[in-house]
Amino acid sequence: MSGLVASVTLQPFDVVKTRMQACAFSGAPKSMLKATKAVVAIEGTRALWAGVGPACIRLGAGAGFYFFVLERLRIALDSRTKGQPGVLAGALQTVGSGVIARSLAAAVFCPISVVKTRMEYSGVSGIKYANTAAALVSIARQERLRGLFSGLVPTIVRDAPFSGLYLLLYTRLKAAANEVPVLQDSMSPFVINFMSGALAGAAATLLTHPPDVIRTRLQLQYHATLPGAIAAGKKVEVSLMGIARNEGFKALWVGVGPRVLRRTLQTAITWSLYEELVSILDHSRKQTVSQN
């Protein structure tokens, strides 16, 4: 549920980010405001929600899959440490659980991510898909597994450290806030969770942005009708060193603005709702037990 809410609400940020990162292919504006204006002026406001279908699948089912794996890992690790790991061991345990859970989720839902990126770029490429299933079938027929799993490595390189860093920062910030009497008295648990999630999300996103630029380029580079660079026979760099050397270090951070805004709000919304749902379910479970 939390993933679906975040997907529908925040999809325009992803559309704008994809258009900005695809500037190597299409010469699109690198400014978030200019890119947004260009999409609305040429394609209309609805274009800002292009790819919202696969986004809902990826974040809805993906978040559920991620949290399920994360909980299984936490339970398994807690049983080994008897729920009382040391400070360093606890930090490593948190980071490791996040890395494994996010890597598995990235691999399982990579084809959906490819479809989402292609749909977000469809206003430029001219390639339209009827729906997510039709897109998966089309890409599988034309590009096989290479197309369906394009960008998987940079996705894992981006998401695994992001998840580990985010979980570490989120748990530490929330614990620190709960130890400050002033914050406890003036803020509800929901607000503390939301603010901790927003700050952790912003920091983790900034540190893991360059692989996202590579992911977008890889997921678009086999598109049949890409304009601009490929049509002109120009090689589009898909490595960190190549982009930094030929396009400048700033090119590795194209689209960071909308991505930080989206990730910050997404993670804050997702984790806040997750914590609230866990609290409600736990309270309900305790009431059931006491009644029995």
Give 253-285 pLDDT, tens digit per residue: 999 999 999 888 777 777 667 767 777 777 777
Q: What is the residue-wise DSSP string for 150-208?
A: TTHHHHHHHHHHHHHHHHHHHHHHHHHHHT-HHHHHHS-HHHHHHHHHHHHHHHHHHHT
pLDDT at 81 over 70: no
Which tens digit of pLDDT belongs to each residue from 109-134?
A: 999 999 999 999 988 888 889 999 99
Which tens digit of pLDDT belongs to each residue from 25-73?
A: 666 667 899 989 999 999 999 999 999 999 999 877 887 898 889 888 8
pTM equals: 0.78
Per DSSP, the three-state class of 225 is: coil
pLDDT at 184 over 80: no
Backbone angles phi, psi at 141, to 5 degrees: -70, -40
Which tens digit of pLDDT belongs to each residue from 205-254?
A: 899 999 999 999 889 876 644 555 444 455 677 888 988 998 888 889 99
Supply the pLDDT for residue 50.
96
Alpha-carbon gap, residue 275 to 78, rounded angstroms: 19
pLDDT at 154 over 50: yes
Nearest CA-CA partner of 209 in 170, 171, 264: 264
Contact 132, 54 (CB under 8 A): yes
Alpha-carbon gap, residue 167 to 169, rounded angstroms: 6
Nearest CA-CA partner of 31 in 46, 20, 44: 20
pLDDT at 287 over 80: no
Supply the pLDDT for residue 232.
47
Supply the pLDDT for residue 14.
94
Place of tokens 């084809």: 111
Which tens digit of pLDDT belongs to each residue from 84-104?
A: 556 666 677 777 888 888 899
